[in-house]
Amino acid sequence: MLICVKNFFLNSIQMKRYKYTIVLLLVVVLPYGQTTSASGKDGPITPAKKLKFDVTYEDRIYRVDEPIDFTIEGNAEEIYFYSGEVGSRYEFRNEGEKIAIDNVKVTFESARSNLKVPCHRWIMISNDFNGEYKSEAAIKAATWTDITHRFTLASDNQRTKSGTIDLTRYTKQGPFYFAFRYISEEYTIAARPPSWRIYDFRIWGTTGKGRNKEEFTLGDISKTPQSANFIAYDFQAEDGLGYNRVGPNYLRMEPFKEAAPSELHEVWIISKAIDGNLVTESSEIGTVLRCACQQPIKEHRYAFNAAGQYSVVFVGIDSDSGERIVKTLDVTVK
């Protein structure tokens, strides 16, 4: 029974210097099991929908390019299909497959200017650096292997290719750090310290597996997720950086110009920890067969263009509650 009490107001009461107005608000009492819509009409409460979803097919051996008819039943408002082929595998929907790397290689270009003062350059690699880039003690405490002799370095301001160098032997102990080390000798203000620059740096891995059967970039000089995330540290600069730079396309090693000219200057530019043993491919995606705004579907036809054993997955989702049912079917194609 609906009881409404409305438009009842007490007269304003004047007490001394204060005025009070009391308002009784609208009170609505509904019988159990009923609700009131926006239009004011009563109706029964709608119970939560129970998701039902099932997929079946004729379980037999199929031929390459032979259509397979999957029968879909239930009330799922969203339906996704994963064929089980590389690029559409349900188990890699959130994170891509981790693939073992067969070989790791590196290449870059370098140039050198302001050659009136001698400088010394090294290419270093370490498996035990602790990642404290701004600590001279931490850098010196790490075990660094000098691999400079394997590269061709520029002798002047002309960009020089380093050659393509295999680093696989240095990756077997786990992630590694790649570093450029630079020391300039004493210089004067008139004779600027030498500048050593690195361009087009790239470390990549090769493998015969996965979607990309050729190369995976492990580190470069960029602002992308493939960046080697180089960090520069000048032992003598007050701010640790000085005139050295890690740009979007190059690295520059050059002592802090305002520092005492009589000192030797040591600069390191070190990469992030690079895993040369595993690479993670991008996540794999399914095909949308139905979204909530579309009409229900009763079947899906698909054919495989290569022989194999496929784990086919259909996902049915209730768009309101988010409830989902996953159906996995093993399909053999010969």
Cross-sheet strand order for the sheet of 299-302: 53-56, 68-74, 299-302
Nearest to 206 by CA among 100, 107, 280, 284: 100
131 within 8 A of 229, measured Cβ to Cβ: no
When pLDDT is averaged across residues 145-160 and rounded to a whole number, the result is 95
The predicted structure's pLDDT at residue 45:
55
Instruction: Give the mean model confidence (pLDDT) for residues 162-167.
Output: 96
Which secondary structure element, helix H or strand E, spans residue 165, and what is its range?
strand 165-166
Q: Quick check: is 21 in a domain? A: no
Same domain, 190 and 221: yes
Q: What are phi and psi of 169, to 5 degrees?
A: -60, -25
- Do 173 and 259 fall within a single domain? yes
Residues 168 and 233 in one domain: yes
Same domain for 165 and 266, yes or no, is: yes
> Other C-beta atoms within 10 Å of 19: how many?
9
State the average pLDDT for the chain: 82
Structural domain contains residue 160: yes
Q: What are phi and psi of 10, to 5 degrees?
A: -85, 145
- With a pLDDT cut of 70, the percent of the chain lying above it is 80
Please provide the size of the chain in residues.
Answer: 334
* Helix-strand-coil split of the chain, %, nearest 5: 5, 40, 55
Euclidean distance between CA atoms 156 and 194, whole angstroms: 10
Note the pLDDT of residue 276: 85
Position 28 confidence tier, pLDDT thresholds 50, 70, 90: very low
DSSP, collapsed to helix, strand or coil, labels residue 169 as helix
The pLDDT, as a whole number, for residue 115 is 75
Q: Determine the Cα–Cα distance for residues 315 and 190; give it in Å rounded to an integer.
A: 72
pTM (global) more than 0.75: no
- The span from the CA of 109 to the CA of 15, in Å, is 91
Range of the domain at 120: 101-280
* CA–CA gap between residue 126 and residue 137 (Å, rounded): 15
Give Dmax over CA atoms of the chain in angstroms.
100
Q: Which of 69-78, 154-163, 193-202, 278-287 has the lowest mean pLDDT?
A: 278-287
Write phi, then psi, for 168 (nearest 5 degrees).
Answer: -55, -40
Q: How far apart are CA 147 and CA 124, in angstroms?
A: 6
Which three-class secondary structure string do you get for 99-135?
Answer: EECCEEEEEEEEEEECCCCCEEEEEEEECCCCCCCCC
Q: Does residue 25 have a pLDDT over 50?
A: no
Structure tokens at 50: 């129970």
- Min mean pLDDT across 111-115, 130-134, 199-203, 307-311 is at 111-115
In terms of pLDDT, which residue wins out, 17 or 284? 284
pLDDT band at 133 (very low <50, low <70, confident <90, very high): very high
107 and 249 housed in the same domain: yes
The DSSP element (H or E) to which 232 belongs, if any, is strand 231-234
The CA distance from 235 to 242, in Å, is 9
What pLDDT sits at residue 229?
93
Is 92 part of a structural domain of the chain?
A: yes
Q: Which of 263, 280, 297 is the last residue of a domain?
A: 280
Q: Has residue 165 got a pLDDT over 50?
A: yes
- 216 with 91, same domain: the answer is no
Characterize the bridge pairing of strands 215-220 and 68-74: unpaired
pLDDT: which is higher, 116 or 244: 244
Measured distance between the N- and C-terminal CA atoms of the chain, rounded to whole angstroms: 70
Query: Is the per-residue pLDDT at 122 higher than 90?
Result: yes
Confidence of residue 247 (pLDDT cuts 50, 70, 90): confident
> Are residues 318 and 240 part of one domain?
no
Structural domain includes residue 16 = no
Residue 252, phi-psi category: left (phi > 0), alpha (psi -120 to 50), beta (remainder): beta
136's enclosing H/E stretch is helix 136-141
- Give the separation between CA 300 and CA 297, rounded to whole angstroms: 8
Q: For residues 210 and 121, which has the higher predicted lDDT (pLDDT)?
A: 121
In a domain? residue 42: no
Residues 202 and 231 in one domain: yes
**Range with top average pLDDT, 124-138, 160-174, 233-247, 264-278:** 124-138
| 117 and 257 inside one domain | yes
Do 63 and 209 lie in one domain? The reply is no
314 lies in a domain?
yes
The CA distance from 219 to 195, in Å, is 23
Handedness of CA 200, 125, 261, 137 (dihedral sign): positive
Is pLDDT at 259 greater than 60 in this prediction? no
Claim to verify: residue 267 and residue 118 sit in the same structural domain: yes
Distance CA 171, CA 158 (A): 31
User: Of the candidates 264, 280, 296, which is a domain's last residue?
Assistant: 280
Q: Which of 280, 296, 320 is the last residue of a domain?
A: 280
89 & 124 share domain: no
167 lies in some domain: yes
The answer to whether 249 and 221 have CB atoms below 8 angstroms apart is: yes
Whether the per-residue pLDDT at 148 is higher than 70: the answer is yes
Q: How many domains does the chain have?
A: 2
Is 224 a member of any domain?
Answer: yes
Work out the average pLDDT over 220-226: 82
